[in-house]
Amino acid sequence: MRANQPVIAPSRMSQGFDPRNLVLPVVVFAIAEVLALAYVPADSFSLAAPHDVAVELVRHLADGTLMLATAQTLGAALSGLGLGGGLGLVFGVVLGLSPAADRLMSVTVETLRPIPPAALIPLSLLVYGFGLRMELAIIAFTTMWPVLVLTRAAIRETEPGLIEVARVLRLSAWRTATRIVLPGAVPRIFVAFRLAAAISLVVAVTVEVVANPRGLGYGMMLAAQSLHPAISFAFLVWIAIVGWCFNWSLVWLERQFFARRGAE
């Protein structure tokens, strides 16, 4: 990920925990609680006091609503990622290995890639109706592009010295690809999947908020529309927690697999 594709602020999780990190959230929650007690009526349709949100969060965690919704959302995100990431990987390898194919496909790729995934929700709804499939189609379409682009870049930036070694050893094109180019690209392909996984969760929640009656996004939307702000904030807090844990485990996984590269 060093060249070309600038990566936004790498994760700070490696820097360890500092108790001072907690000052701001504690202060914000305290202020919100005081303001809510002072100004938000108990029957407000749009806002809720933090303690009410906490009560609803615990209640929905205890009765399993949140767990079911989380399983639905994460399941859709990960299967969509498998589908879209798999396709992106195949196309990325092909386009990375063959500059001619890459140039010929460039207009097609550059035309389809900028389509915002949310625009596809109505189309997917028309084709598949409500349910898992319409969500999968959109997640797969969205996650395919980053994996394709980053895999292509990873393969193209193989150390030229290694290619020369392969030439000196008279390796065939196939063996060069499978023995030298692909193994060298694996860590960066993993990074591509990590980024795509983060995107998949965002898209899953978006599809659920907009249209699909399942998962965390729908639970949040339903609570907001039935004017239960404490429940919808509880869903929001839970979505934030799930998002954080999801990203954290992806970074952790990457560390486990590629610990040797950590020193770079």
Partner 1 sequence: MNAVARSLWLAGSLGVAAGFVAVWHAVSAAGLVSPVFLPPPAAVGRALVNGFTNGDMLANLAATVARVFGGWLLASLLGIVLGVIIGISSRARIYVAPSLEAIRPLPVSALVPIFIGLLGFTEQMVLAVIAFGALWPTLLSTVHGFGAVEPRLYEVCRSLRLGRWEVIRKIALPSAMPDILAGMRVGLTVSLILVVVAEILGSREGVGYSILLAQRSYQAADIFAGIFLLGCVGYASAGLINIAEKRLIYWRR
- Interface positions with partner 1 (CB under 8 A): 6-12, 18, 20-21, 23-25, 28, 45-47, 103-108, 110-112, 114-123, 125-127, 198, 201-202, 205-206, 209-210, 216-217, 220-221, 224-225, 229, 232-233, 235-236, 239-240, 243-244, 246-247
Q: Tell me, what DSSP letter sits at residue 64?
A: S
CA-to-CA distance for 76 and 56, rounded, in angstroms? 25
Question: What burial letters (b/e) apply to 17-49, b meaning 16+ CB within 10 Å?
Answer: eeeeeeeeeeeeeeebeeebeeebeeeeeebbb
Q: Cβ closer to partner 1: 147 or 220?
A: 220
Q: Cβ closer to partner 1: 176 or 246?
A: 246
**Are residues 137 and 211 in contact, defined by beta-carbon separation less than 8 angstroms?**
no
- Cα four-point dihedral sign 206, 212, 215, 218: positive
Q: How far is the CB of 236 from partner 1 (least distance, A)?
A: 6
Among residues 45, 52, 49, the alpha carbon closest in space to that of 228 is found at 45
Q: How far is the CB of 64 from partner 1 (least distance, A)?
A: 20
Q: How far is the CB of 102 from partner 1 (least distance, A)?
A: 9
Question: H or E element: which one contains 241?
Answer: helix 229-257
- Cα four-point dihedral sign 226, 228, 229, 231: negative
CA-to-CA distance for 78 and 182, rounded, in angstroms? 24
Count, residues in the chain: 264
Q: How far is the CB of 203 from partner 1 (least distance, A)?
A: 8
Q: Cβ closer to partner 1: 7 or 186?
A: 7
Q: How far is the CB of 182 from partner 1 (least distance, A)?
A: 25
Q: Please count the other Cβ atoms lying within 10 Å of the Cβ belonging to residue 114.
A: 7
Q: How far is the CB of 176 from partner 1 (least distance, A)?
A: 23
Q: Cβ closer to partner 1: 128 or 171?
A: 128
Q: Cβ closer to partner 1: 187 or 243?
A: 243
Greatest Cα pair distance, the chain, in angstroms, is: 78
Token output for 188:
């960066």
Q: Cβ closer to partner 1: 12 or 170?
A: 12
Q: How far is the CB of 113 from partner 1 (least distance, A)?
A: 8
Q: Cβ closer to partner 1: 20 or 170?
A: 20
